[in-house]
Structure 1
Amino acid sequence: QRFKDLKIQRRIDEVQRFLSVTLSIANAHTVEFYTHDAWNRFVAVPPQEVLSNVGSRGDQQREPETTFGFCNVTNRLVDTRELVQAAKAHALPGLGVCMSRDELLQALRGHRSESGAPVLITDEFMNSKKSHEVKSMSEVVACLAQHCEVKQVIDLGSGKGYLSSFLSLQYGLRVYGIDSSSTNTHGAQERNRKLKKFSRAYQKHNKAVRAQGEATLSPQEELVDIKPGRGGDNDDVVYVDGLGIVSQQEQEEVLIALSDVNPAVEMHSESNPETEELFLSVLSVDAVQPTSPRVPPSQLSAEERERRKRENLERKSQDRNATASVMFSPLTSYVTAETELRELINELEDAVMVGLHTCGDLAPSTLRMFVAKPELAAVCSVGCCYHLLSEEFDPCLLGVCGFPLSRYLRDRSWFCGRNARMSACLALERVSHGQGIQMESLFYRAVLHVILRDHYGCFKSEKRVGNVYSKAKSFVDYVRRALRRLELEELKLSDGDIQDYHDAYRPRMGEMHAFNMLKVTLAPCIEGLILLDRLCYLKEQEDSSFSALVQLFDPLLSPRCYAVIGLKSWEE
Structure 2
Amino acid sequence: MTSLKGQHVYFEIQNRKQNLTTAKVSFCSNVDEFSGIFCENSNKLVDLESFLDAAKAFSLPYLGICTSLRQLIGVLKGMEEEETDKKMRTDEFMNSKKSHEVLVMSQLVNCLANYCGIKQVIDLGSGKGYLSSFLSLHYDLKVYGIDSSSINTSGATERNRKLKKYWKAYQNHSGGGSSRDPMSEREKQRTAQYNMMCKETVSGKHLSSNISSPCQDQVIKSGSPSETNVHPVVSAMIGTDKETCLHLAGQPEPEEDELCQHAFSFLKILPTNAVETASSSKSFHQGDLCGEEKEQKKTVNIKAKADKLNESNVYSPLTSYITAKTELHDIVTDLEDSMLVGLHTCGDLAPTTLRLFASKPEIKAVCSVGCCYHLLSEEFENTAEEFTQETWGFPMCQYLREEAWCCGRNARMSACLALERVAVSQGLSPESLFYRAVLQVIIKECYGVTRSDGRVGKVFSKSSSFPDYVRKSLKKLGLDESKLSDSCIMDYYEKYRCRMNELEAFNMLKVVLAPCIETLILLDRLCYLTEQDDVGWCGLVQSFDPVKSPRCYAVVALKK
Check whether TM > 0.5. yes
Letter in 1 for 2:181: V
What is residue 278 of structure 2 aligned with on the other side? none
Q: In the TM superposition, what is the alpha-carbon distance from 1:311 to its structure 2 partner?
A: 11
Cα deviation digits, residues 44-96 of structure 1 (max 9, x gap): xxxxxxxxxxxxxxxxxxxx8x6373233432111222211221111100111
Match of 1:195 among 148, 163, 167: 163
Q: CA deviation at 1:223?
A: 2.3
Pick the aligned partner of 1:224 from 139, 164, 181.
181
Report if aligned partners of 1:551, 1:562 keep a CA contact under 8 Å in 2.
yes
Q: Deviations over 1:31-55 (max 9, x none)?
A: xxxxxxxxxxxxxxxxxxxxxxxxx
In the superposition, the TM-score normalised over structure 2's length comes to 0.74
Supply the AA of the counterpart residue of 1:84: L
Residues 225-259 of structure 1: CA deviation (Å, up to 9, x unaligned): 3324xxxxxxxxx479xxxxxxx7x6676445423
The answer for the alignment partner of 2:332 in structure 1 is: 345
- Aligned ranges for residues 174-185 of structure 1 at < 5 Å? 174-185=142-153
Question: SS of the residue aligned with 2:67?
Answer: strand
Of 373, 379, 384 in structure 1, the residue corresponding to residue 366 of structure 2 is 379
- For residues 283 and 482 of structure 1, the distance between their equivalents in structure 2, rounded to whole angstroms, comes to 43
Q: Which letter does structure 2 place at the counterpart of 1:183?
A: I
**What displacement does 1:483 show?**
6.1
Measure the CA separation in 1 of the matches of 2:168 and 2:557: 33
Cα pair 1:9 1:536 within 8 Å, conserved: no
| Counterpart for residue 132 of structure 1 | 100
Residues 539-550 of structure 1: pairs in structure 2 closer than 5 A: 539-550=530-541
> How far, CA to CA, are the matches of 2:129 and 2:505 in structure 1?
40
1:384 and 1:425 in contact (8 A); partners too? yes
Compare 168-177 and 6-15 and name the one that shifted more.
6-15
Q: Would you say 1:92 and 2:92 are equivalent positions?
A: no
Contact 2:90 2:266 in 1 (8 A): no
**Does the Cα contact within 8 Å between 2:92 and 2:263 map onto a contact in 1?**
no
Distance 1:182 1:438 in 2: 35
2-side partners of 1:316 and 1:551: how far apart?
A: 47
Q: 1:70 and 2:60 equivalent?
A: no
Contact 2:444 2:450 in 1 (8 A): no
Return the alpha-carbon distance in structure 2 between the equivalents of residues 519 and 449 of structure 1.
Answer: 18
Q: After the TM superposition, which residues 47-126 of structure 1 pair with which residues of structure 2 at under 5 Å, given as runs?
A: 67=35, 69-110=37-78, 114=82, 121-126=89-94
Q: Residues 158-173 of structure 1: matches in 2 within 5 Å?
A: 158-173=126-141
Structure 2 unmatched runs, 5+: 1-12, 206-259, 270-280
Task: Give the C-alpha shift of residue 447 in structure 1.
Answer: 2.8
- What letter matches 2:153 in structure 1? T
Identity of aligned residues (%): 51
**8 Å contact from structure 1 (residues 465, 486) kept in 2:** no
**Aligned equivalents of 2:87 and 2:302: distance in 1?**
23
State the aligned residue count.
474
Counterparts of 1:385 and 1:455 in 2: how far apart (Å)?
A: 30
Shift in CA distance, 227/559, structure 1 to aligned 2, threshold 3 Å: same
Q: Is the 8 A contact 1:120 1:170 kept in 2?
A: no
- Paired residue type of 1:567: L
Amino acid at match of 1:194: K
Task: Compute the displacement of 1:439 (Å).
Answer: 2.4
Shift of 1:365: 0.3
| Partner Cα separation in structure 2 for residue 70 and residue 101 of structure 1 | 37
Cα contact 1:358–1:382 (8 A) shared by 2: yes
Higher mean C-alpha deviation, range 357-366 or range 428-437: 428-437
* Aligned equivalent of 1:466: 456
Separation (CA, whole Å) in 1 of partners of 2:348 and 2:140:
30
Quote the Cα distance in structure 1 between the aligned partners of 2:162 and 2:472.
43
- 8 Å CA contact 2:16–2:539 kept in 1: the answer is no
Aligned partner (choices 184, 198, 218) of residue 258 of structure 1: 198
Aligned in 2, Cα 1:373/1:559: closer, same or farther, shift over 3 Å?
Answer: same
Hey, what's the Cα distance between the residues in 1 that align with 2:378 and 2:123?
25
| Change in 2 beyond 3 A, CA 1:346/1:515 | same
Change (3 A) 1:75 1:315: farther
1:521 aligns with 2:512: yes
* Residue number in structure 1 paired with 2:109: 141
Contact 2:170/2:264, CA 8 A, preserved across alignment:
no
With over 3 angstroms needed to count, the CA separation of the structure-2 counterparts of 1:397 and 1:561, relative to structure 1, is: farther
Question: Residues 359 and 203 from structure 1, CA distance in 2 versus in 1: closer, same or farther, beyond 3 angstroms?
Answer: farther
2: distance between equivalents of 1:168 and 1:481? 42
- AA paired with 1:225? P
Instruction: Tell me by how many angstroms 1:336 deviates.
Output: 0.6
Q: For 2:472 and 2:187, locate their aligned partners in 1 and report how far apart those are by CA, in whole Å.
A: 60
Shift of 1:17: 9.1
Asked if 1:155 is matched to 2:142, the reply is no
Shift of 1:119: 6.5
Which amino acid letter does the alignment assign opposite residue 445 of structure 1?
A: R
Could you tell me which of 498, 513, 523 is aligned with 1:507? 498
Tell me how large the CA RMSD over aligned residues is: 3.9
- Tell me the distance in 1 between the aligned counterparts of 2:200 and 2:107: 25
Flag the 1:344–1:227 CA change in 2: closer, same or farther, 3 A.
Answer: same
Change in CA separation of 1:140 and 1:482 when aligned onto 2, cut-off 3 Å: closer
| Residue 415 of structure 1, CA deviation | 0.3
Q: Distance in 2 between matches of 1:182 and 1:227?
A: 41
Residue 428 (structure 1) aligned with residue 419 (structure 2): yes
C-alpha change, 1:441 and 1:147, in structure 2 (3 Å) is same
Matched residue SS, 1:155: strand
Structure of higher CA gyration radius: 1
Tell me by how many angstroms 1:507 deviates: 1.5
Partner of 1:268: none
Q: What is the identity, as a one-letter code, of the residue corresponding to 1:151? A: K
Measure how far apart 1:551 and its partner are: 0.8
What is aligned with 2:237? none
Contact 1:390–1:397 under 8 Å retained in 2? no
Distance 1:200 1:356, change over 3 A: farther
Instruction: Please state how far the C-alpha of 1:261 moved relative to its aligned partner.
Output: 2.3
| 1:397 to 1:386, Cα distance in 2 relative to 1, 3 A | farther
Tell me which residue corresponds to 2:216: none
1:302-356 CA distance string (max 9 Å, x none): 999xxx9999999877765554444101111101110111111111110011011
Does the alignment pair 1:332 with 2:323? no
